Amino acid sequence: MINVGITGIGFMGWIHYLAYQKAPGAQIKAICSRNEAKRNGDWTSIQGNFGPPGEQVDVSDWSRYSDVNELIADESIDLIDICLPPDLHAEVAKSALQSGKHVLIEKPMALTAEDCEEIVAVANANDRQALVAHVLPFFPEYAYLRKAVASGEYGKLLGGHFNRVISDPLWLGKDFWDEEKVGGPLIDLHVHDAHLIRYLFGMPTAVNTRGRFRGETVEYCSTVFDFEDSDIVVTSNSGVMNQPGRPFIHNFEAHFEKATMQFSFALLNGDPDLEVSPLKVFDADGNVLRPDLGSGDPVDSFVLEIQEAVSAIELGQPSSLLGGELARDAITLCAKQAESAQSGSAVVL
């Protein structure tokens, strides 16, 4: 059994807590928060854009810390689950790894590729795992896509388009646009698709991005990704638009040799619109397939994510989905896209 300590009891800390209740092989044994009420189990102030609101939590069997260094020093803890603000990820992750803990870092891994590389290096030097909680590949529609790629059922994956757009996230405050605190739309939002693109297609050879800016930060952009294989055509749109009635949308269209896969999800005035475009597969024989993807509870995807992390630690083998190198490459892609948008020309990786 892997003993877990969560640091950062906000929305993602709450979602991770819910996932651990269903994930075998791991148990929460400690938490860390500067908020006294949360240390005492009052999580009722937590609200998010999916899942249930926070509740009163029984913390009586856990060690509770206000200082993350005390959590890291707890010898009973095997895994530090980092759900802190992004600008704290690198420092806490490196400290935990140096202390002999594994880490599961909520995305983004860190705000710069250099910090990500340092985390990977420290993990390797201490024979620990730096896992990054990119949950998108575990969402049912995206899991179906990657499993179809792995099986070869529809032939070679030739490319696709990936879209992720939100309305102005006023609830996040000005820090969302601060590249030294949260990182803006590319690091906070597009990194999901950058990670998926890197996983599905390998590392691009170049990116060509056009974008709008808010100050020095990319607000919205479109990107063409180049690969060594010229048959692969991949594009993405991501960022913030003035669309308060549709505060979030993500979708993809993936092109295989023998099929096209299509999916779209949106929130409309805060409520999920499940009829936008459920996952469909258009095959080469003219069929329209509608795969059964189960309940659709988003927390279940986090359960699968936690199970993947537990398996990687138990087996002592890097995760192909949560590995630090893959997450580092996603941050590198975001940085190169920002560079391309700023210069108005393609950037070679």
Strand, helix or coil at 325? helix
What share of the chain in percent tops pLDDT 90? 89
pLDDT at 273: 64
| Residue 259 in tokens | 């099929």
pLDDT at 8: 97
Mean pLDDT for the stretch of residues 277-305: 92
What CATH number does the domain located at 2-133+303-322 have?
3.40.50.720
Mean pLDDT over all residues of the chain?
A: 95
pLDDT at 170: 85
Mean pLDDT for the stretch of residues 123-130: 98
Q: Report d(CA 13, CA 6) in Å as an integer.
A: 7
Q: Report d(CA 119, CA 343) in Å as an integer.
A: 29
| Residue 348 in tokens | 């070679």
Q: Tell me: the pLDDT tens digits for 21-51? A: 999 999 999 999 999 999 999 999 998 777 7
Whether 294 has a pLDDT exceeding 90, the answer reads no
Q: For the domain with range 136-297+330-348, which CATH number is right: 3.40.190.10, 1.10.1740.10, 3.30.360.10, 3.40.50.300? A: 3.30.360.10
Burial of 294 (0-12, 13-18, 19+ CB in 10 A): exposed
DSSP label of 188: I
Span of 76-85, 87-96, 265-274 with lowest mean pLDDT: 265-274
Common-topology check for domains 2-133+303-322 and 136-297+330-348? no
Whether 240 has a pLDDT exceeding 70, the answer reads yes
Mean pLDDT for the stretch of residues 199-211: 98
pLDDT at 274: 58
| Residue 297 in tokens | 């509870």
Q: Report d(CA 221, CA 185) in Å as an integer.
A: 9
Span of 39-53, 252-266, 268-282, 307-321 with lowest mean pLDDT: 268-282
pLDDT at 48: 78
What separation in angstroms does the CA of 249 have from each of 93, 213, 279, 280, 287? 31, 20, 14, 17, 27
What share of the chain in percent tops pLDDT 70? 99
Own/partner contacts of 268-276, CB < 8 Å, gap of 24 or more, are: 269/245, 276/249, 276/251
> Sorting pLDDT into bands at 50, 70 and 90, what band is 82?
very high
Mean pLDDT for the stretch of residues 250-277: 86
Whether 275 has a pLDDT exceeding 70, the answer reads no
Q: What angle do CA 139, 145, 147 make, to 5 degrees?
A: 95
Which spans in the chain are helix H?
11-20, 36-39, 68-73, 89-98, 113-125, 140-151, 184-185, 191-201, 298-315, 324-343
Whether 245 has a pLDDT exceeding 80, the answer reads yes
Q: Nearest to residue 44, comparing CAs of 36, 35, 53, 52?
A: 53
Whether 223 has a pLDDT exceeding 80, the answer reads yes
Whether 226 has a pLDDT exceeding 70, the answer reads yes
Span of 67-76, 107-116, 185-194, 290-299 with lowest mean pLDDT: 290-299
Extents of the domains making up the chain:
2-133+303-322, 136-297+330-348
| Residue 298 in tokens | 């988003």
Q: Are 236 and 225 in contact (CB under 8 A)?
A: yes
